[in-house]
Structure 1
């Protein structure tokens, strides 16, 4: 069967008709049947056809048979996030002309989409997904579940956390044999403040990453687990800090500055929410120094840093406003709605425009936070609005904010 596909592929590449290829060897009808796998043929005929096409069938069959293994090698590199190997195999596969006639073309496309999502290129991933959307029901079990995994990752990239969970929870783990998807489930549950499910899924992902000896991804999963236990009455703050510091050391040992930036950022937040703004500001700045400017990750730490500096009076108001304006400009340049809102709010706060801050929070920011599913920001906003309305004597608005807060907590 493969021999016929290979003959057809190279014949078409050589711009030969079936009659031209078969001249002096066999009829065009026989060529047609060979290409479709509908007839027997002698080794002599096959050798003559290959000689005319300038190929070695044994060599081509070996390449054809190795495609599947190489695709799984690429998937393994993507899961483990081994950048050099991931890129090397990608380049190798791009040069493999036989991929397009193999039965693994769909697997290749799905892995391309997963690779694009990992590279923060969701638009390219979506275009690839659309190419195969009409054939998903006919996919083999592994590819069918990989499709769900990639789709769930895409929803995560679009901040549609509820849809991500809905998609990822349909994966059949026994058919897929890739528990990595639990990490993406944990990330979605964490954002929606479903702490128990986030911890449960992160732990399953952590155990899988340990099984495949991928320490970098173990750090990722343990980061989520640590965030979820930070409020457990059985864990004192110093114990939580020690676990954060151990993760930071692990990042240094693995030469993983990107992961270290995330861990340091989350530790900064722990200090911030406990009112230690000097320490949180110091850590937010350290996290910023490990990140590329003009990225969402950088803006996240910048926003925390400026809030810390404002609370602890670590910077003059002019410098605070200058840096907040830079953050807003960057957010608008990269077309990030969330951070455009956050830096606009921060500017109102820095300028002392309290009424405008809360109006903007209520009318502009909170509806978007709800739409995007940022449960933490929704809860924080509702608490702020309740306190503000209570302070200014707007009882009706305060009660409405309190009801919304209780409803959201009940939902989660």
Structure 2
């Protein structure tokens, strides 16, 4: 009976989303399955396979996670909306808005998922520690939050990996550059084993800090490999806010290698991309560049 109710909920939500978009069953089924199969799903008589479910949700403009959260509760769906907004701010490196958003919303949402609580609390602490330059406090808090779910030496989830990355970033910001480099290198091995990414910013953002730590500690040997991988990833998944930082870091690498022409080429690319995508309140990139240039003097 419980399984039938689950199927019915999936069908009801798919039907509501389809009708809301004025989409016929024929249009939804096209290229995916038969019209009769869609009818049976919407009536709760069939549960779609994972492949068909992903195709249906893609056509409806949502993720499978969105659908499952809608089935779970409206509160869970609101949490997903909050996380999506937080991730957008993270890509822009906008920690002030992250902290203020979490502070204003967390009490009313009644978050019940341990993983949702983990990432929301982790980002709240991370943002607070950066805004107040209280990095050691942030390191300790992030480590404790990670311990809620992570088993040592196991492959982390994407959110656990994000928390690990925060630890490395805070080491870097606290001027513990060698420790930051060693820690970030130690967790790099997990990247290709993470099966599901809730947001595409996690990997290129990790590489920005790994490359920064590599440059700061004069570990230049593998920087081109890191840069090429991260730049291609950003292009493939349209994470352009991070791409401009990677362009600048590539220019910095050429500067350190005393290749002036290539330094100017990639520095120019970083500035041109910034002009294309910058927002009126976007000061982070200028600050990022200025801080990096100051270290080269």
TM range, smaller chain: 0.5 to 0.7
| Corresponding residue for residue 201 of structure 1 | 101
Q: Is the 8 A contact 1:328 1:343 kept in 2?
A: yes
| Corresponding residue for residue 364 of structure 1 | 269
Q: Is the 8 A contact 1:291 1:297 kept in 2?
A: no
| 1:266 to 1:379, Cα distance in 2 relative to 1, 3 A | farther
Query: Given the alignment, which residue of 217, 222, 229 partners 1:327?
Result: 229
| Corresponding residue for residue 231 of structure 1 | 130
Q: Is the 8 A contact 1:183 1:205 kept in 2?
A: no
Shift of 1:284: 1.5
* Whole-angstrom distance in 2 between the partners of 1:97 and 1:366: 53
* Whole-angstrom distance in 2 between the partners of 1:97 and 1:368: 48
Q: Is the 8 A contact 1:272 1:308 kept in 2?
A: yes
| 1:204 to 1:369, Cα distance in 2 relative to 1, 3 A | same
* Whole-angstrom distance in 1 between the partners of 2:113 and 2:101: 17
Per-residue CA deviations over 1:288-315 (Å, capped at 9, x if unaligned) read 12211898644443342232122112x3
**1:262 has 2:162 as partner:** yes
**1:128 has 2:60 as partner:** yes
Per-residue CA deviations over 1:274-332 (Å, capped at 9, x if unaligned) read 3221111122223312211898644443342232122112x3x4x23553465367548
| 1:280 to 1:73, Cα distance in 2 relative to 1, 3 A | farther
**Structure 1 stretch displaced more, 180-189 or 252-261:** 252-261
* Whole-angstrom distance in 2 between the partners of 1:275 and 1:229: 18
| Corresponding residue for residue 184 of structure 2 | 284
| 1:285 to 1:205, Cα distance in 2 relative to 1, 3 A | farther
Query: Given the alignment, which residue of 5, 8, 14 partners 1:68?
Result: 8
Shift of 1:102: 7.7
> What is the number of residues matched between the two proteins?
251
Q: Is the 8 A contact 2:254 2:263 kept in 1?
A: no
Provide the TM-score with structure 2 as the length reference: 0.61
For the pair shown, which has the larger CA radius of gyration, 1 or 2? 1
Over aligned residue pairs, what C-alpha RMSD do you find?
A: 4.9
- For structure 2, the 5+ residue unaligned runs are 15-32, 67-73, 195-199
**1:351 has 2:224 as partner:** no
Question: 1:32-51 counterparts in 2 under 5 A?
Answer: none
Provide the TM-score with structure 1 as the length reference: 0.47
Q: Describe the SS at the equivalent of 1:252.
A: coil
Q: Is the 8 A contact 1:272 1:280 kept in 2?
A: yes
| Corresponding residue for residue 378 of structure 1 | 285
Q: Is the 8 A contact 1:265 1:284 kept in 2?
A: yes
| Corresponding residue for residue 217 of structure 1 | 116
Q: Describe the SS at the equivalent of 1:241.
A: helix
Q: Is the 8 A contact 1:324 1:347 kept in 2?
A: no
- For structure 1, the 5+ residue unaligned runs are 1-58, 75-93, 130-149, 155-175, 392-412
Relative contact order (alpha carbons < 8 A, sep ≥ 6): 1 or 2 greater?
A: 2
* Whole-angstrom distance in 1 between the partners of 2:6 and 2:160: 37
| 1:281 to 1:104, Cα distance in 2 relative to 1, 3 A | farther
* Whole-angstrom distance in 2 between the partners of 1:340 and 1:198: 21
